[in-house]
Amino acid sequence: VDTIAQLQLVLGPEGVRAPGEISERYLGDWFMRAEPGVRPAALTLPRSTEDVSAILKICHAEGNPVVPQGGLTGLAGGGVPIHNCILVSLERMRAIVEIDPVAATMTVEAGIPLQAVQEAAAAAGLLFPLDIGGRGSCQIGGNISTNAGGNRVLRFGMMRDLILGIEAVLADGTIVTSLNKMLKNNAAYDVKQLFIGSEGTLGVVTRAVLRLFPNPTSLCTALCAVADFDQVYDLLGRARAELGGTLSAFEVMWPAFYRRAIAGRRKVPLGPDFGAYVLIESMGSDQMRDSDRFNEFVERAGEHGVLADAVIARSLSEGLALWSIRDASGDLVKELAPVANFDVSVETGRTGAFAQECGDRLRARFAGAAAICFGHLADSNLHIFVTAAVRPFPEREIDEIVYGCVRDWGGSISAEHGIGLVKKPYLSYSRSPAEIAVMKALKAALDPRGILNPGKVFD
């Protein structure tokens, strides 16, 4: 109660909500909700970096746990409340501080939704390339904290690659302002890296400098069918070499995915019996020349026997129709329920064999189990939907089999969603004891009282 009174003194009555006034939406993310007994002690709604600093100073003095929240679209439970925590929602800190068209940067407060950033960049004739399904609700601070990936990683990188500067508040309320706008800055350690992908456990991000890019003006799309994974890798090498810096997507669909994705469609671009399907996209700055080059690339791959079949989109709408097959994943996961849904990484050249092995292990345990695979192959990122006829649905056992397979293949249990609460039991499958010891040393150095998002990522 004393903590709450102190917070109200600093933030005013409208900046602090008591437990009874906290709406349901703050109690979970897109993947999970807090356990029924869990109640936050308060929700705080800071309006400035100084507010965040004041909140953390109070909580640090009291040893009160703090859970930072962005748009709550996470898929690993990183923003889900723990009992008696002070929630810090950045939703009122949503200003665009500056757009600098020469430096090609945008400086924003952390609570701004991703889509608002995309739109402001577009209005300035530029592109902020990060794009994920939660764009309307997710916030830049959350994108930083989870090192968000999404649809354009192959071309523009993950969130880490799109950040030039960060301001964050440490556990004890210290404000660390590194709002760098320069591409090159080797003045000692790059402190901002600590706050990217650490899921709010090392600091609360309050502002950031984002990199902007020229808007691509050309778009080419093709759907290719190949006989097997050796041809997938061959095609990838050709696409990288021949499309150069314009290659923007190389999405692979396994036959089990493709067949389900086209089920019930009247018009289907390619037959259902090939070994794998690859959606290839390029983005450039010269539609005529880029189209010619793209078409030649597809033709050449055909002449060299790498393709079994292919369709090139002749218009934007034909391109969207091809993408709609890949994007059927959203509906598919609902149709397949109950289903276990994975976001893992394995070395690009071993993806085909990994998927095979993973499916074999699942079927060996559960007759009739299916592993339905698709993914950003060039990014080494594989998504897997697993179904099984057993009831109750053996989610935990399926997790163990899939993550066990990831461990045995030296992959990552999280390509882009993070660890949060959901994947915490499996962290040691992808990280060695020495790596985890370094993480814990960083946590102890920056948050010695352990108040920042405790229980997330690791214990």
Interface residues for a copy of itself in 319-338 (CB under 8 A)?
A: none
Quick one: which of 51, 281, 379, 399 contacts a copy of itself (CB under 8 A)? Answer: 379
5 vs 182, beta carbon nearer a copy of itself = 182
For residues 114 and 325, give the distance between their C-alpha atoms in angstroms, rounded to a whole number: 25
Considering the complex, state which of residue 17 and residue 181 has its C-beta at the smaller distance from a copy of itself: 181
Which positions from 215 through 234 interact with a copy of itself, judged by CB under 8 A?
215-216, 233
Binding-site string for a copy of itself from residue 61 to residue 100, where x marks contact by CB under 8 A and - marks none? ---------------------------------------x
Interacting residues of 292 by C-beta distance below 8 A, sequence separation 6+? none
Q: Which of residues 398-457 bind a copy of itself (CB under 8 A)?
A: 411-419, 423, 427, 430-432, 434-439, 441-442, 444-446, 457
Task: Considering only the stretches 149-157, 265-273, 315-323, 364-372, report the one whose residues sit in contact with a copy of itself under the rule CB under 8 A.
Answer: 149-157
CA distance 437 to 299: 51
Which CB sits closer to a copy of itself, 3 or 380? Answer: 380
Rounded to the nearest 10°, the torsion over CA 332, 333, 334, 340 is 150
Structural contact between residues 170 and 156, judged by C-beta atoms closer than 8 angstroms? no
Q: For residues 128 and 55, what is the distance between their CA atoms, to the nearest angstrom?
A: 31
Could you identify the residue written with the tokens 């008696």? 84
Among 12, 19, 101, 338, binds a copy of itself (CB under 8 A): 101
CB of 403 to a copy of itself, least distance (A): 11
Residue 412: exposed, middle, or buried by beta-carbon count in 10 A (0-12, 13-18, 19+)? middle
Binding positions for a copy of itself, 280-299, rule CB under 8 A = 284-286, 289, 292-293
Any contact of residue 246 with a copy of itself (CB under 8 A)? yes
Q: Which is nearer to a copy of itself, 222 or 270 (CB)?
A: 222
Binding piece for a copy of itself, criterion CB under 8 A, among 87-95, 146-154, 267-275, 385-393: 146-154
Starting at the earlier edge strand, list the strands of the sheet with 218-226. 309-312, 218-226, 276-284, 247-253, 370-376, 381-387, 340-345
- Choose, by CB under 8 A, the member of 61, 103, 120, 390 that binds a copy of itself: 103
Cα R_g (the chain), whole angstroms: 23
| CA–CA separation, 139 and 424 (whole Å) | 23
The span of 24-32, 115-123, 240-248, 255-263 binding a copy of itself (CB under 8 A) equals: 240-248
Residue 142, CB-side half-sphere exposure with 13 Å CA sphere: 34
Contact 37, 47 (CB under 8 A): no
Can you tell me which of 378, 388, 401, 452 binds a copy of itself, judged by CB under 8 A?
Answer: 378
Alpha-carbon torsion 26, 31, 37, 38, what sign? negative
Residues 6 or more apart whose CB falls under 8 angstroms from that of 381 comprise 149, 153, 343, 344, 345, 375, 415, 416
Under rule CB under 8 A, residue 149 binds a copy of itself: yes
31 contacts 395 by C-beta, under 8 angstroms: no
- In the complex with a copy of itself, which residue's Cβ is closer, 42 or 301? 301
Stretch that binds a copy of itself, among 86-94, 132-140, 174-182, 310-318 (CB under 8 A): 174-182
Q: Do 355 and 384 meet the contact criterion of CB atoms below 8 Å apart?
A: yes
> Of 240 and 259, which has the nearer Cβ to a copy of itself?
240
Q: Which of 259, 260, 261, 263 is nearest to 272 (CA)?
A: 259
Q: Rounded to whole angstroms, how far apart are CA atoms 27 and 311?
A: 46
Instruction: Report in angstroms how near the CB of residue 408 gets to a copy of itself at its nearest.
Output: 15
How many residues touch a copy of itself under the rule CB under 8 A: the total is 96
Q: From 459, 447, 457, 456, select the one nearest 56 (Cα to Cα).
A: 447
User: Which position has the token pair 């998927």?
Assistant: 355
- What is the closest distance, in whole angstroms, from the C-beta atom of residue 246 to a copy of itself in the complex? 6
User: Residue 421 CB, nearest distance to a copy of itself (Å)?
Assistant: 13
| Among positions 35, 161, 228, 360, the unique one binding a copy of itself when judged by CB under 8 A | 161
Min dist CB 67 to a copy of itself, Å, is: 17
Q: Which is nearer to a copy of itself, 156 or 277 (CB)?
A: 156
| Closest separation in Å from C-beta 17 to a copy of itself | 30
Report 341-370 residues binding a copy of itself (CB under 8 A): 345-349
Q: Indicate the residue among 44 and 231 with the shorter CB distance to a copy of itself.
A: 231
Closest distance of CB 185 from a copy of itself, Å: 4
Is position 311 an interface residue for a copy of itself (rule: CB under 8 A)? no
The distance of closest approach from Cβ of residue 201 to a copy of itself in the complex, given in angstroms and rounded to an integer, is 8
Q: How far apart are the first and last CA of the chain?
A: 27
Q: What is the DSSP letter of 150?
A: B
Residues 182-221 that bind a copy of itself (CB under 8 A): 182-191, 193-194, 196-198, 202, 213-216
